[in-house]
């Protein structure tokens, strides 16, 4: 009976460091790759598109700020970091260029 138990035991129990270390880290590498393609890459793409939109701002564009203020671009300051928005006939606001959320399309209805 004792001989049968000893014969069933694996022969290489004492061999502890014979495996490939890359196989041990493969799950972590796969998790990092999945996170890159599902989270980091789309966010970077979105950020590039927003920067492209902000660089293409022109005088007369209808925009909406992150705070929900609707207005038209009346001009830019000398350092080109601040946008002057015309909100009403006698009201102009200075907002940071990065505070512009999106540019309204020309065909959008004014509420």
Q: What is the per-residue DSSP string for 56-102?
A: T--TT-EEEETT--EEEEEEE-TTSSEEEEEEETTEEEEEEGGGEEE
Q: Which two tokens stand for residue 87?
A: 């909100």
- Over residues 13-52, the pLDDT tens digits come to 555 556 788 888 899 999 999 999 999 999 999 999 999 9
- Over residues 93-103, the pLDDT tens digits come to 999 999 999 99
β-strands 82-88, 91-96: how paired? antiparallel
């Amino acid at each position: 009976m004792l001989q049968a138990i000893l014969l069933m035991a694996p022969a290489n129990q004492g061999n502890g460091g014979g495996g490939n270390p890359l196989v041990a880290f493969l799950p972590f590498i796969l998790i990092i790759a999945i996170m890159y393609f599902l989270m980091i890459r789309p966010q970077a793409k979105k950020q590039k598109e927003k920067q492209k939109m902000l660089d293409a701002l022109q005088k007369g564009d209808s925009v909406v700020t992150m705070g929900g203020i609707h207005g038209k671009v009346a001009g830019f300051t000398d350092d080109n970091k601040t946008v002057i928005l015309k909100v009403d006939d006698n009201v102009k606001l200075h907002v940071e260029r990065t505070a512009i959320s999106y540019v309204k399309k020309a065909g959008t209805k004014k509420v």
